[in-house]
């Protein structure tokens, strides 16, 4: 059985067929006091029509399986607004985005949270989201999309980074890698495990990192070299971290894994983290919330978006979903700030470029790893 931590840091793995159908036609979960249990899937027929602008009734929040906020926080929001918040999990971030697009003409909820910058262009182009932009807290402007910023509101930010088991490298007397180039060095043969680009949000982020670093004409050769050096590709983050990583708590034998910049904050023993994120390998992910076009309760949906960027929710994100808030107005916990270092610069690929090239990139990536 998955722990709450595993549920919310799950790599949001998705079936390749579903992801590719939409693209060609995406931190450890919260505490046991989190409102993260999904409701049965289905339509939002139970939502109250608040088209007159009054807030209240049922609001269906469609989100990924990593969504988790303290129940006390959710109850307070419901009490203050008169809203009955119902959450429905649509799987990982990739699956969520795919389902939102597939059900755009008959939305299964009123508001969605969890579409990230690697997937945002497709649902925006397809008219999945209605026009609504919440008033942003200080610092959040940095994460607003150039196209679609009037429909998707940034809620949290994190980085997908290569992580290493520092205790393993100390024990073996080997210097750990630092860069993407290092991962193809024979010194690290058979040591790296990553989730797949076609089956997980962080896996897609890692592919984009290699595209950003080596260019559209060079990343394929990099992946060929990476695989020749014994890199292992698995379906999702959880498979890699808990199955193959030496610090995953199981019988893993690989001390290098694709994970997050926040991961070292959760491998602390005796005042010292046993892992480290390689901050020169990171790809920045921003997660967004938006009101769904055709929502039965649009006013309530807007209230949920506003709530997600409130100080209370922003302050709860690190310990509930293990991501960084987009707000500069809240402080992260001391241990988090100490161990969850963020890169000063991250790889980025423009959402429009991702939308235009994702199908081709995934096809080429699949060809490379299938050789």
DSSP 58-110: EEEEEE-TT---BHHHHHHHHHHH-EEEEEEE-SSHHHHHHHHHHTTTS-SSS
Query: Residue 51 has what pLDDT?
Result: 45
User: What is the overall mean pLDDT for the chain?
Assistant: 86
Q: Is residue 371 part of a domain?
A: no
**Do 219 and 317 have their domain in common?**
no
pLDDT band at 311 (very low <50, low <70, confident <90, very high): very high
Rounded to whole angstroms, the Cα distance separating 93 from 202 reads: 10
Question: For residue 370, is it within any domain?
Answer: no
pLDDT for 215 equals 97
Can you tell me the distance from the alpha carbon of 261 to that of 282, in angstroms, rounded to the nearest whole number? 8
Highest mean pLDDT among 16-30, 156-170, 317-331 belongs to: 156-170
Tell me, yes or no, whether 357 and 289 share the same domain: no
Would you place residue 53 in the very low, low, confident or very high pLDDT band (cuts 50, 70, 90)?
low
**pLDDT of amino acid 198:** 84
Confidence (pLDDT) at 55:
82
Position 293 pLDDT exceeds 80: yes
111 and 14, same structural domain?
A: yes
**Closest listed residue to residue 117, CA positions, set 361, 337, 365, 348:** 348
Q: Is residue 152 classed as helix, strand or coil in its secondary structure?
A: coil
pLDDT at 364 over 90: yes
- Cβ-based neighbour number of residue 124 at 10 Å: 21
Q: Give the burial class of 331: count Cβ atoms within 10 A of its Cβ; 0-12 exposed, 13-18 middle, 19 or more buried.
A: exposed
Does residue 144 fall inside a structural domain? yes
Statement to judge: residues 198 and 245 lie in one domain: yes
- Specify whether 295 is located in the same domain as 312: yes
Both 134 and 171 in a single domain?
A: no
244 and 134 share one domain: no
Q: Which of 36-50, 174-188, 304-318, 328-342 is the least confident region?
A: 36-50
Query: What's the Rg (C-alpha) of the chain?
Result: 20
For residue 301, give its domain range: 4-157+285-337
Average pLDDT value for residue range 32-47: 39
**pLDDT higher than 50, residue 37:** no
DSSP 166-226: HHHHHHHT-PPP-STGGGGSGGGTT-EEEE-TTT-HHHHHHHHHHHHHH-TTTHHHHHHHH
| Residue 369 maps to a domain | no
264 located within any domain: yes
Between 113-117, 285-289, 298-302, 348-352, the lowest mean confidence (pLDDT) is in 348-352
Does 62 map to a domain? yes
Average pLDDT over residues 216-224: 97
Q: Are residues 331 and 357 in the same domain?
A: no
In this predicted structure, the answer to whether residue 245 has a pLDDT above a threshold of 60 is yes
Mean pLDDT on 87-101: 85
Residue 213 in this model has a pLDDT that exceeds 80? yes
Residues 113 and 220 in one domain: no
Are residue 170 and residue 146 in the same domain, yes or no?
no
Same domain as 299, residue 153: yes
Q: At what angle do helices 351-370 and 201-214 cross, to 10 degrees?
A: 100
User: What is the domain-level CATH number for residue 137?
Assistant: 3.40.190.10
The count of structural domains within the chain is 2
* Amino acid 92: pLDDT: 74
Mean pLDDT value of segment 234-247: 92
The reply to whether 134 and 38 lie within a common domain is: yes
- Which segment of 96-105, 252-261, 301-310 scores lowest on mean pLDDT? 96-105
User: Cβ neighbours of residue 11 under 8 Å, at least 6 residues apart?
Assistant: 26, 92, 195, 200, 201, 202, 203, 236, 237, 238, 239, 240, 241
Whether 327 is in a domain gets the answer yes
Q: What is the average per-residue pLDDT within 329-351?
A: 88
């Amino acid at each position: 059985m998955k722990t709450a931590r595993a549920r919310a840091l799950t790599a949001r793995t998705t079936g390749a067929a579903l992801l590719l159908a939409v693209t060609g036609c995406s931190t450890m979960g919260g505490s046991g006091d989190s409102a993260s249990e999904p409701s049965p899937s289905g339509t939002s027929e139970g939502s109250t029509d608040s088209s007159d602008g009054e807030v209240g009734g049922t609001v269906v929040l469609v989100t990924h399986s990593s969504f988790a906020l303290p129940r006390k926080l959710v109850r307070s929001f419901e009490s203050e607004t008169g809203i009955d918040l119902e959450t429905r999990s649509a799987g990982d971030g990739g699956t969520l985005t795919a389902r939102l697009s597939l059900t755009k003409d008959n939305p299964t909820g009123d508001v969605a949270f969890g579409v990230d910058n690697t997937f945002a262009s497709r649902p925006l182009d397809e008219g999945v989201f209605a026009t609504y932009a919440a008033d942003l807290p200080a610092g959040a402007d940095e994460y607003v999309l150039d196209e679609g910023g009037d429909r998707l509101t940034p809620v949290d930010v994190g980085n997908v980074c290569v992580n290493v088991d520092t205790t393993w490298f100390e024990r073996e007397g080997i210097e750990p890698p630092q860069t993407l180039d290092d991962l193809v060095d024979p010194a690290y043969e058979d040591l790296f495990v990553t989730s797949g680009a076609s089956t997980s949000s962080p896996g897609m982020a890692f592919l984009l990192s290699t595209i950003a670093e080596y260019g559209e004409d060079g990343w394929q050769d990099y992946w060929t070299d990476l695989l020749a050096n014994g890199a292992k590709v698995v379906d999702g983050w959880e498979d890699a971290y808990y199955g193959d990583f030496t610090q995953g708590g199981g019988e893993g034998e690989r001390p290098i894994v694709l994970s997050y910049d926040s991961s070292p904050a959760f491998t602390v023993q005796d005042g010292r983290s046993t892992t480290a994120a390689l901050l020169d390998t990171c790809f920045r992910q921003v997660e967004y919330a938006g009101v769904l076009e055709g929502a039965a309760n649009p006013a309530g949906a807007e209230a949920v978006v506003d709530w997600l960027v409130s100080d209370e929710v922003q302050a709860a994100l690190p310990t509930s979903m293990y991501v960084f808030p987009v707000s500069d107005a809240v402080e992260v916990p001391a241990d988090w700030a100490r161990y969850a270092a963020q890169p000063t610069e991250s790889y980025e690929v423009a959402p429009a470029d991702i939308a235009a090239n994702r199908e081709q990139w995934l096809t080429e990536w699949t060809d490379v790893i299938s050789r």
